[in-house]
Amino acid sequence: MTTRLYYDDSDLMTFDATVVTCAPVDDRFEIVLDRTAFYPTSGGQPFDTGTLDDAQVVDVIDRDEAGIVHVVRAALAPGQRVTGTIDDARRRDHREQHTGQHVLSAAFERTGGVATVGFHMGGEVSTIDLAREVSAAEIDAAEDDANRVIREDREVTVRIVPEDEIAALALRRQPTRRGALRIVEVTGYDVSACGGTHVARTGAIGLVVVTGVEKVRGGSRLTFLCGVRAVRGFRERRDRLAEIGRRLGVAAADVGPRVARLQQDLRDAEAQGRDLRQALALARAVEWRAEAETMGAWRVVIRATELAGGDLSALARAIVAEPGIVTVLTGPGVPVPVVVARSADVALDAGAVLKAMAAALGGRGGGRPDLAQGGVTAEAPAIAAFVRGHLADVPIA
């Protein structure tokens, strides 16, 4: 069993220890010490990094009774005395985020009665999962209360509490473990069972800001930043907003109204584009109907176009708006987009034609008797030849 020095002193960045075991694993070595200040990945908090003498610690794993495993790139001899040095910036960041999470979760509990059911600390951002969906107003209220507690610079205490005294504590979340528990308390605000590293006073958190929210399994997942991360995040957003303002030619404060105007301009342009495409389709329909091939009682329009999707099918509908017409249109792409359509008075199943085409030339598609669409692997000339041959074999009423 490894003595966990970080339980008693989250400020401890240098310590001496004795190597108990050293096991090679691939190109690395797993070191167990008799005692350590390195925090292992646990409870949503990532591991500490640093060195054991000159050996870089690249992972720290809690193996329970087997001890804390330090993964390093160089072998250390059992019985060897080593000096462990914790990466101070990483530890400080983790302490800010973890204590900030305690305060933020307590704030949601106090202001809205919303329990935290999950926590994850990432390298860039952290998240908490709340038991239900929360509104923007509820987020603001919790964020304000959390930052009030941070500004008040309340003491954060850590102590080990025997199992028979746990029931008397007003724990925010009931523990699943039995036995004595390590309790982290934000004076007068939050009491939680936790094995992580924390700041000594809430003022060291600096501030906490919620930067995003999404729905997750009937609840809410909130992204948040504390301390240095929050300052860095604000700076990045400020610079990004300033860059957007420069690109739009307006001050940062005017970006919102300017974007709204651009969105309206885009909607107007899209509407104008739809009108123009409709007019073009009608004009083409008139022209191509006049140039249609005659097959028995039908006029047949077979054309390769630059259109695709809705524009291609809209043109086909415009062409068959008059009686006695069958049209097959293709567009650019691989597979080649194909639309088959016919007038209401034509006794032809467009879907069956397209399925036969796909079976003969490769591809897939289907649709209604009056209009079908799909994709064919053959090129436009081969498609046109198939259509002419197929229609020649279809009895024309």
**pLDDT at residue 362, rounded to an integer:** 92
Per the listing, tokens 């724990």 go with 171
Under 8 Å between Cβ of 314 and 273: no
Clarify whether residues 323 and 388 are in a common domain.
yes
Cα angle, residue 98 at apex, residues 93 and 104 outer, rounded to 5° = 120
Clarify whether residues 227 and 318 are in a common domain.
no
Q: What is the pLDDT of residues 37-69, one digit of tens each?
A: 999 999 889 999 999 999 999 999 999 888 999
Clarify whether residues 99 and 217 are in a common domain.
yes
What residue type is assigned to position 185 of the chain? E
Clarify whether residues 143 and 216 are in a common domain.
yes
Q: What is the pLDDT of residues 218-262, one digit of tens each?
A: 999 999 999 999 999 999 999 999 999 999 999 999 999 999 999
Structural domain tally of the chain?
3
Strands 3-4 and 35-36: parallel
Cα angle, residue 327 at apex, residues 322 and 328 outer, rounded to 5° = 160
**pLDDT at residue 309, rounded to an integer:** 84
pLDDT grade, residue 152 (50/70/90)? Answer: very high
pTM here is: 0.73
Clarify whether residues 232 and 310 are in a common domain.
no
pLDDT grade, residue 269 (50/70/90)? Answer: very high
Per the listing, tokens 């910036």 go with 89
pLDDT grade, residue 397 (50/70/90)? Answer: low
Give me the helix-helix angle, 255-290 and 309-319, nearest 10°: 40
pLDDT exceeds 80 at position 272:
yes
Q: What is the rounded distance in angstroms from the CA atom of residue 284 to the CA atom of residue 306?
A: 13
User: For position 206, which CATH number holds?
Assistant: 3.30.980.10
Clarify whether residues 136 and 10 are in a common domain.
no
Under 8 Å between Cβ of 76 and 53: yes
DSSP string, 58-99: EEEEE-GGG-EEEEESS---TT-EEEEEE-HHHHHHHHHHHH
pLDDT exceeds 90 at position 339:
yes
Domain membership flag for residue 274: no
Domain that holds residue 132: 92-243
Element (DSSP H or E) covering residue 309: helix 309-319
Domain membership flag for residue 23: yes
Last residue of a domain, one of 86, 104, 129: 86
Q: What is the rounded distance in angstroms from the CA atom of residue 135 to the CA atom of residue 213?
A: 10
Clarify whether residues 79 and 98 are in a common domain.
no
Domain membership flag for residue 259: no
Domain membership flag for residue 272: no
**pLDDT at residue 282, rounded to an integer:** 86
Per the listing, tokens 């036995």 go with 179
* Average pLDDT for 352-377: 92
pLDDT exceeds 60 at position 396:
no
